[in-house]
Structure 1
């Protein structure tokens, strides 16, 4: 097992080198400048689209705008925000949070382009059902000669969409907060983790075998409440430590550029660490969210791009920031004995002794399960693209089996595998988006011209 873990760590570190950083951060910066900061100029309109103001039940697709964003957020506003941020700060210091913010800003533009393309270049699977995602964008937008790149994305997506990180961290928090303190579970953690993993398999199976419509319905109901609950808890932690907040932000900005904390004083290494965790958190440029938004019921690709760009805003700029500040002001990030979700649990318990960690467990349960539900959809789409739509349900059996592997494996091995596969997925996603970006801008100009004309006609009436 140690050999496998070492291989996965080496694979992940090699994948997240300077070339990928330039592709993600540089590509996102290009999208931001090329669009003339469109994600920020049309935030109000994107909220109206999300509210359903322009919904048409006869439009092609499977789920509405709100369900598409909720389902995508169910995968992103999850363990990446709770333990992903903790992993980032314990590995790279508080300065990592600053580079997560930078990644999120450019990620909004990236999401706009990639998710607009996911609707603009939807294709049909072998059953004739309308599908969206980077693999279809590549084939339909760039042409059949680019299909090897689409296949490369789908293969990476089979593993990048696995639920092993969510299962690992959910198992850890249940073991360390619920079982061990109360004298429950086996003295051999493998068996207690295995029991937890099997329980997760049962609950997850009840939802994911119902397909995207059930996933969308469940996520649409659970995501808003889980965000509110988690934010209220973190606001309490910040209020209890309000005198430390100015110092926390000063530490974030100072550490972002001096980089003295963890990674050998290399600013570049901290930037890469921030980009990795931001990518894991909001998935901008990775391509998973594009698969979900590609299922939205709309005939206007630009509208779905506008809705999708809200993801990094909610996920990283709001939720991840709250988590990061809570960890910093309580000082739990500097505990060398804690890792992953344990760091966040310690922050909750520090501010709310006796019950804080249990509130986190409740949040983690909702976060992790909604992530488990949504990620299965990504994997089935990749599997269907590779082997045919009639076989895609078979992926779910492999998917639920890996929940057990994630529950019993080390966090280092788990996060290294997912990081490496995310890097592989980003290559075809960003390449196709950059090549097709003129198509997005042409569509945006046409869309906003029609919207202005529509408003002018409404005013005349």
Structure 2
């Protein structure tokens, strides 16, 4: 066995270990506990998020760096994209169709989790080494729980540095470009070309550097322009596929529900593997309870922490319940998922689209993947930089950015298995300090929510609209 095979196997063992039963209980059980503790109140105010995103409540003088819609778009750009396309394909390949059911479970309880984590990210913002106001789990722990909990904050920041690597996005983007564009045109021989992968990775790195130079303000504006349009474009594509196989849709949902509790459809095998795969891929998809989304929501310009919590609740709904479900149905309805483990990741999703659109399918998918994968790469840089500054201060930030660009190129030529296990494993580690701090500080969110929603109700009764004084 070669050195690289040993590394891949070690990373797989690490990912399987950290995603064991204790973490599943913490994520799903913790999210359910928050749902019950809130008495479902945030769910009843989902409609208020539309008013917040419309800009009715924006005040340019409020503390923060981006408005509500840009904060949500930035958070979504970190989750939408290859996590919904390649990630769903990996989940079905590894855990069977039943894994999708457990992704839904993480999304449903994740709505409550995101409400709490995003609210806390604004409520307990702190100054970084540059004196700039920041939000995120490490600042929530430091400002909300105190210095004796600092090891948890450091743990999140270290895991964030590793988990926010751009390798998965650059790897799968390059793979899709190669297989749907370069190989059919004869530019690259079947099986791949190291030179082609390197050049694509280098081009992605150069383009990322340009957007990154504008920091969160440019990233927020870029995401707000790209994400909504690409989501609509992808929904149109998937609905066309689903419409072609509309008679088989009930059977696809039946397969998801039955396999969720049997786990015998494909390689997933035992029920525990199906649940683990579904929850881990669901967490990777919508990031509820992981804490990365709080890094974006904590930058929102607002003096009302609950407002950003309400906006954040839309994340799991759009990301997992809508986009991931559409991707899963495309893979299941076309029968692409039955090809076995030799076809994995974004290639499986591309082949599913080929069943309806022919050779045009992968190219259409590519049009959607490129901008979303790119937006995810620049968003993850922002997340990683916040973790870096928290750990090391303002020194040598250019070194981190340079290393990040190098990793984009390395990710393009790396093994999918190794890349996937690194990211998934680090996401699990990040979840521990995020969920522990959220559960410990949940009472502060309940108090703020009661105050905010009461004022909103009084204002609506007085003036006929939900404008909170």
- TM-score interval for Structure 1 and Structure 2 normalised by the shorter chain: over 0.9
Distance across 1 between alignment mates of 2:230 and 2:141: 35
Alignment of 1:310 onto 2:314: yes
CA deviation map 1:225-265 (0-9, x unaligned): 00011110000111111122111111111111111123564
Contact 1:70 1:223 in 2 (8 A): yes
- Number of residue pairs matched? 460
Between 283-292 and 334-343, report the one with greater CA deviation: 334-343
Alignment of 1:73 onto 2:98: no
Contact 2:103 2:320 in 1 (8 A): yes
Distance across 2 between alignment mates of 1:3 and 1:40: 46
Q: Which runs of 5+ in 1 are unaligned?
A: none
CA deviation map 1:5-50 (0-9, x unaligned): 1111111001100000000000000011111112321111122112
Alignment of 1:147 onto 2:147: no
Distance across 2 between alignment mates of 1:392 and 1:94: 43
Alignment of 1:189 onto 2:196: no
Distance across 1 between alignment mates of 2:464 and 2:310: 24
1:172 to 165, 172, 175: 175
CA deviation map 1:337-385 (0-9, x unaligned): 3110011100111111121111011111112111111111000000000
> CA offset at residue 390 of structure 1?
4.7
Distance across 2 between alignment mates of 1:152 and 1:373: 23
Matches of residues 159-308 of structure 1 in structure 2 within 5 Å?
A: 159-185=162-188, 189-263=193-267, 265-308=269-312
**Number of the residue aligned with 2:433:** 428
2:348 to 343, 361, 368: 343
**Number of the residue aligned with 2:32:** 29
**Number of the residue aligned with 2:371:** 366
> CA offset at residue 93 of structure 1?
0.8
Contact 1:381 1:392 in 2 (8 A): no
Contact 2:268 2:274 in 1 (8 A): no
> CA offset at residue 74 of structure 1?
0.6
**Number of the residue aligned with 1:4:** 7
**Number of the residue aligned with 1:97:** 100
1:296 match: secondary structure: coil
Contact 2:95 2:267 in 1 (8 A): yes
Between 398-407 and 133-142, report the one with greater CA deviation: 398-407
**Number of the residue aligned with 1:116:** 119
Distance across 1 between alignment mates of 2:42 and 2:185: 49
2:49 to 46, 50, 53: 46
1:299 match: secondary structure: coil
Contact 1:208 1:215 in 2 (8 A): yes
Between 41-50 and 62-71, report the one with greater CA deviation: 41-50
Distance across 1 between alignment mates of 2:383 and 2:56: 28
> CA offset at residue 203 of structure 1?
1.1
> CA offset at residue 457 of structure 1?
3.0
Distance across 2 between alignment mates of 1:279 and 1:396: 26
Matches of residues 421-460 of structure 1 in structure 2 within 5 Å?
A: 421-459=426-464
Contact 2:53 2:311 in 1 (8 A): yes
Distance across 2 between alignment mates of 1:418 and 1:13: 12
**Number of the residue aligned with 1:334:** 338
> CA offset at residue 155 of structure 1?
0.5
Distance across 1 between alignment mates of 2:317 and 2:127: 31
Distance across 2 between alignment mates of 1:309 and 1:47: 11
2:382 to 373, 377, 386: 377
**Number of the residue aligned with 2:327:** 323
Contact 2:111 2:316 in 1 (8 A): yes
Alignment of 1:414 onto 2:419: yes
